Amino acid sequence: MITTPGLPQYGALIVAGLITLLSLKEIISGSERWTKALNNAFNQAILPLLCCFAGIVVFKVATII
């Protein structure tokens, strides 16, 4: 049995989490409760997922080439 090491193993979970957080950020940013602290919290959660997503894209492109 061969398993590929790295990020693609959890790719669907990372993409789903990233889409969810980006959607929540867009929805909540329109409310009166939006603060700079809340913006920073969302950015801290989104940035690692965005980096993982970029890694998954690079890995998938590298396997095709």
Domain boundaries in the chain? 9-64
Task: Retrieve residue 45's tokens.
Answer: 């959660």
pLDDT grade for 8, boundaries at 50, 70 and 90: low
pLDDT > 70? residue 10: yes
* The predicted structure's pLDDT at residue 3: 56
Chain centroid to Cα 39, Å, comes to 16
Instruction: Give the Cα separation of 28 and 52 in Å (integer).
Output: 24
- 25-43 pLDDT, tens per residue? 999 999 998 999 999 999 9
Q: What percent of the chain has pLDDT over 70?
A: 88
Instruction: Give the Cα separation of 11 and 17 in Å (integer).
Output: 10
This prediction's pTM = 0.78
* The predicted structure's pLDDT at residue 38: 94
* Number of helices followed by number of strands (H, E) in the chain: 2, 0
